[in-house]
Copies of this chain bind each other. A is one copy, B any other.
Amino acid sequence: MEIPGRYMLTDIIKSKTKDGKPYLRAIMCDRDGNRRNGIMFESNKLDFDPQNGDIVDAVGMIQQFGGQDQLKISTMTVVKDADPSEFLPKRGINSEELIQELELILLEKITDEHLAALVDRFFKDAETLDSFKKMPAAKSVHHAYVGGLLEHTLSIVRLSVLVGDYYKDLVNTQHLIMGALFHDLGKVKEMQAGTGLEYTDSGKLLGHLLLGVEMLNKYVSEIEGFPEDLKYLISHLIVSHHGLLEYGSPKKPKTPEAFILHHLDDMDAKLNTFFSIFERDGVEKGWSGYDRLLERQLFKHS
């Protein structure tokens, strides 16, 4: 039975059948954030050239393929002026409130002249800020919903204030907070602006750590007299925050702030993952199903 629906297309692959006819595969996301494999044969008959992030009205039939449901599309038309963010998983994040809270904390805590100029630059970069407010923190795993990147960043900033103050004799809380602010900022360029469900070319080739450093370098180049050693210290916080080379950090943490940032980031991401797994498995308490990424079952006792 054919069913109509509205979807966002991502992960498009255009290919040819053995007898040379063009066809198209794509991930189709509906407005509930569900993702489904789609396939359309004779895609040369379409009256538009499908691009990642396009919103379409499609009619198709569900069939089994390789043990998974697949939507075999018969007709598909593009929808202009649709809002892509409607098609991302959502959790009711109020981005405006969060961004205001973030700005307030930074205004209060960042008193160093150059770092304050850096914060200022960031909040004046409207394009980046706009993506930053909508972006998930990841395609899956943790904070994978509209506003997740902002929510996670704000959480690390808050924790940095708490823990930086706790260790105030030992660490530079302002550095720590700046590391928290920028640690995942490169995700704004690593994932498709506006969709957040697909990695960009530069994201796959360099990754968000290096893209974040590139963004930082750009801001710094616009601030007169920004000390070079300060630039490298903040950059180090960004690139070392995965903690180990095998997790993609080209350098291990070497400063007290880098150690702390790594732990806070991993802790916050793991906790969010924890509750996402229970939600995904539809389990309220007790044991989750086996999670292949964490390689364990999880236990929620209340």
State the Cβ distance, A66 to closest chain B Cβ, in Å.
Answer: 6
Residue from B228, B232, B271 within 8 A of A256 (CB atoms):
B271
- Are B163 and A301 interface neighbours, CB within 8 A? no
A: contact size bracket: 35 or more
Judge whether A275 and B210 touch: CB under 8 Å: no
**When the two chains form their complex, are residues B250 and A207 in contact, meaning their CB atoms are under 8 A apart?**
yes
Question: Chain B contacts of A297 at CB under 8 A?
Answer: 204, 254
- Whether A239 is near chain B, meaning CB under 8 Å from some CB there, is yes
Does A162 make an interface contact (CB < 8 A)?
Answer: yes
Q: Bound state CA distance, A300 and B271, in angstroms?
A: 30
Whether the pair A158, B162 counts as a contact (CB closer than 8 A) is no
- Known contacts A67-B68, A283-B15; decide if A250 and B163 are in contact (CB<8 Å): no
In this assembly, does A125 line the interface, its C-beta being within 8 Å of a C-beta of chain B? no
Contact A275 B170 (CB under 8 A): yes
- Cα–Cα distance between A136 and B68 once the two chains are bound (Å): 33
In angstroms, Cα B10 to Cα A228, docked, is 22
With most chain B CB atoms within 10 A of its CB, the pick from A202, A236, A267 is: A267
